[in-house]
Structure 1
């Protein structure tokens, strides 16, 4: 797998440029400059707006009532323009495990199909997206009192620009015969499905297997970007087997990409880049390495502990990983750790720390099921320790023979000196968490405090701030945001399609009849939520199934907090495990490591998470022992 668009130099099918002065080349450069510049400005504007909102509310006690609304409008534009940048750069996440193992000619064809399949989706969805934006013009936003079309226009604009970018990439391929073959094959499959519509519609829920298993698997394993694989399956299912207006799919795409909590993703991505640029990361790494660097697998233990400490701060697991990976990975790679193992462990810690408060998943469960959020917060800490210990056991086994002969153990005086130098950097997670706990900023806003803090530390303490790197950092933030948020939007649309099929209620009724009492219900819930976590983004899965399954759990004698912990971990394992887990591809994108490299390493960590989950499920006290009642 890879989140890069792999270029081929075999079979004459390299996606390269034509002559340097060709009109496609000039168009590509002009489009890149315009879209990247706009996306970078929006990232900067988001930081300023949210920081201004925090300052006005907390310092001057005069809240800016329009700040969240403006930030939300700009965020949709950022996500769509970022998706355009990511498509142009070949940074949309995709699986190339199969593609890389076939011969040159079929590989070249699959690579070309990875361009033509998204073009097919974009061509089909563009008209409904325009209709959706037109419909939204009649809605007036409450704070700014402007037409909502200003926000909704981001969807057709972004989708249209992605179509242009994909067409430019297609036109710049050298092999005309191969290009025509891919276009013809894509058109033939599209027409075949359209003609099969009358046959598919009477099949009922068998269409779920055809589209959400068959089409998704064929696209994913064929190298089509993950987001477009989800989108094609959902579009085909709704268009061919239901009477749902396709306007609705655009609305669900909008809904998935518009959660303000997701704005934490670009801000924490930028924060991660900032603490590396200012030297804070280097200072922190040097201190952590002095403490555990002489221990086999020491920095892997630091990664597990760091994710535990910062988890939940941003409300987004992807954002948590974005704050940690740039700090630890460079030094870990220098010490010889395989990049695949690093991304596998990072993804595993994403699942392990899902129950650490303040977790948006815990808040969501409490809000949709009526379970006490305070009880969920109290119950979430120890189960994460159990799964963390299981991951540490795998780290110990894998690194038990690590050669540390070139690593010296520093004296206490050196550790103390490094601790003083690293103190401002080490305080950053505590500053961020304190801002959330004390109510200074929301989970979305708090990263701007981290950005302001890091900027001041870089300028005043570490005296390291490269102004020339700011624009590339902002563009990189936008590209990564687009790649991640577009997947979330497409997954949300797919989740809605599954819900409308009646699948969720049928699943709940079936699970209620499982024999074995409480433990039988827990066992089937683990299996179900691992599968659901792999095909649905976490929060939609909880919203869909929580209200249905928690009453059944209570009737089966399972404590609701205990059940919540089991469900969250199971969902997390599905979300962060390949081949379908969106979180795994997010970890790969943040780490800039090919998902292929993580495949052979992640299964040991997934096994450890399953063992930890079984322990948590079997011993209710781990989840309920520290509850206040």
Structure 2
């Protein structure tokens, strides 16, 4: 992975003079990083002030949401630029890594060129879109909406510059020439085949949205740009729709204020680790359960369950817990590959725990109450946790007795007191949403403020809290959020194209006509989303197919929250299952073990997850039994 620093330096040796071009490149990178970090700070401050003024001072700030929405578009686009700079856009590299170095160089060049071509095609339409939005004024601030929409052409232009720079920085002139020939040949072939594609009717969707997307993803093109190039190719060659539609749909998908919870919860996950809250939670659970046979496996499950309610990001969950717990588990004789398998399964089992980013995404793009999703997601996760815990217990019976001594009551009490702030935070988040104190977006800022206050208090008490890391955490949160939000924006454009083609209606009719009625529909949903989860990851799969399938489920009288839990658990199963699941490889990387050995051990845990999925699917009460407590936002 090439970092922004590497791109800026262009591989120059330490101490070598920096050329003016590199100096300008480095200055632009630092400017984008600073702007993204500042925007995230501003967003947190604006939303937090909105909560305080509305609920504490009873004087709502009528302009707060409007300003937050305008700044959010800039945060999303600059975050996307940062993600491209740092090579952090979501992509599949499992296939490319098996190729020879020469073929890998070709694939990298093709992927970079696809990004260049797509961004170049939308820069001008994005500028026209922003110009058109200048005629619309916002109601509270009376500000031209074009100032918000200008984020799209500015972000697209910056991404084009980054993509060209990355393309030129790749080694091997032959690989770049071969990539240009390959992409050019595909473009010419599609252009010549346009009359035949038009005559095919909706079968041409297989060419653009299956073959072209799959081909782009296989060579390592980021998923967002694979969606984008397929959509613009389809609109250009077989429709009369202008490319401005791609930009307007992209703007609509990324501008939803509900999605502002994504960067704030990602930031909260980083603050959780920096403040020491995650470590204190693990210390308490180790003192409580560390002496029992297989106790640390239960500690891992419990820690992931609790931390998932705080960070909202599964990668952040695993990264916060594993480094603190794995060394002690290895000391006690645990197999590192077994630990990684358990970590992958625990990541999948907590996909429904609020404030999961997938829950927030479903609420935003499928029109489901986020507060209801937050309430309905807890019991399915409990069922999955208990079943994986049963697998851990059965394995522990074959192990030798635990060597660690039972912790004295005084130690348990002391670690409990230290961990109490960490235990209170997920309760605070859930109560604030369920009781209507704050929306899902606003409650994320309450969590950030709570964690920062704890970190400052701990630092004042003499504990080593590295606040100097805060700036890098803001930049990291902006980059990760930009990668997620760009997928949502371009998947929204792709979903519009599929809807315009009539495919959505055909899909709904097909799903509704599956033999078995509601039962058959749910079983097909499990299979489809398990496959989609392994290939596309959760968020793009939801954005692309959620708006198509949720209406079909509703027509079959399936509760939206219940259907969401089935979809999320099925995607989690695919996301963490080898050989394609991206989450599986993330767990192996965090555990620092080879995926080869982990693949043989993870299946017993995934079987338990499958059983949990079946139980949740056919016992709807698990998802809907407590919904009367959830207000609607």
TM over 0.5: yes
Query: Is this contact kept in 2: 1:82–1:482, CA < 8 A?
Result: yes
Distance 1:367 1:570, change over 3 A: closer
Corresponding residue to 1:319 among 312, 324, 327: 312
Cα separation, 1, equivalents of 2:584 and 2:54: 34
**1:595-623 per-position Cα deviation (integer Å, ceiling 9, x unaligned):** 99599376655543332222333445655
Corresponding residue to 2:198 among 201, 205, 214: 201
SS in 1 for 2:424: helix
Whether 1:29 aligns to 2:23 is: no
**1:93-120 per-position Cα deviation (integer Å, ceiling 9, x unaligned):** 2211111111111112112222222111
Corresponding residue to 2:144 among 147, 153, 175: 147
Distance 1:519 1:319, change over 3 A: closer
Whether 1:268 aligns to 2:261 is: no
The Cα shift of 1:419 comes to 0.9
Aligned to 2:78: 81
Query: Is this contact kept in 2: 1:570–1:613, CA < 8 A?
Result: no
Aligned to 2:610: 610
**1:446-483 per-position Cα deviation (integer Å, ceiling 9, x unaligned):** 12212222222222245344332221111111111111
**1:368-414 per-position Cα deviation (integer Å, ceiling 9, x unaligned):** 7xxx9999887665444333333434555677777896755422221
Aligned to 1:92: 89
The Cα shift of 1:575 comes to 6.4
Distance 1:604 1:105, change over 3 A: farther
Cα separation, 1, equivalents of 2:442 and 2:201: 45
**Mapping of residues 350-365 of structure 1, within 5 Å:** 350-353=350-353, 360=360
Cα separation, 1, equivalents of 2:157 and 2:362: 37
Distance 1:197 1:114, change over 3 A: same
Corresponding residue to 1:331 among 309, 324, 332: 324
The Cα shift of 1:319 comes to 2.8
**Mapping of residues 384-395 of structure 1, within 5 Å:** 384-395=381-392
Query: Is this contact kept in 1: 2:105–2:171, CA < 8 A?
Result: no
Whether 1:136 aligns to 2:133 is: yes
Aligned to 2:524: 524
Query: Is this contact kept in 2: 1:75–1:263, CA < 8 A?
Result: yes
Query: Is this contact kept in 1: 2:566–2:616, CA < 8 A?
Result: no
Aligned to 2:494: 494
What's the C-alpha RMSD, in Å, of the aligned pairs?
A: 3.9
Cα separation, 1, equivalents of 2:451 and 2:90: 29
Cα separation, 2, equivalents of 1:382 and 1:332: 26
Cα separation, 2, equivalents of 1:358 and 1:480: 14
Distance 1:444 1:200, change over 3 A: same
Corresponding residue to 1:546 among 544, 550, 555: 550
Which stretch shows the higher mean deviation, 249-258 or 295-304? Answer: 295-304
Cα separation, 2, equivalents of 1:501 and 1:374: 34
Aligned to 2:242: 245
SS in 1 for 2:440: coil
Distance 1:232 1:527, change over 3 A: same
The Cα shift of 1:303 comes to 5.4
The Cα shift of 1:577 comes to 2.5
Aligned to 2:420: 423
Cα separation, 1, equivalents of 2:115 and 2:594: 22
Whether 1:17 aligns to 2:14 is: no
Distance 1:46 1:361, change over 3 A: closer
Cα separation, 1, equivalents of 2:87 and 2:374: 40
Aligned to 1:218: 215
Distance 1:75 1:575, change over 3 A: farther
**Mapping of residues 431-580 of structure 1, within 5 Å:** 431-461=428-458, 463=461, 464-528=464-528, 530=530, 537-538=541-542, 541-551=545-555, 553-554=556-557, 560-561=558-559, 565-566=562-563, 568-574=565-571, 577-578=574-575
Give the length in aligned residue pairs.
604
Cα separation, 1, equivalents of 2:545 and 2:621: 26
Cα separation, 1, equivalents of 2:171 and 2:211: 31
Distance 1:70 1:509, change over 3 A: same
Query: Is this contact kept in 2: 1:355–1:565, CA < 8 A?
Result: no
SS in 2 for 1:507: helix
**1:126-164 per-position Cα deviation (integer Å, ceiling 9, x unaligned):** 122122111211111122111111111111111111111
**Mapping of residues 392-407 of structure 1, within 5 Å:** 392-395=389-392
Cα separation, 2, equivalents of 1:251 and 1:22: 39
Query: Is this contact kept in 2: 1:356–1:380, CA < 8 A?
Result: no
Gaps in structure 2 of 5+ consecutive residues: 331-335, 629-633
Query: Is this contact kept in 2: 1:86–1:92, CA < 8 A?
Result: yes
Distance 1:529 1:93, change over 3 A: closer
The Cα shift of 1:538 comes to 2.5
Cα separation, 1, equivalents of 2:289 and 2:247: 49
Distance 1:610 1:580, change over 3 A: closer
Q: Tell me the TM-score normalised to structure 1 length.
A: 0.84
The Cα shift of 1:38 comes to 0.7
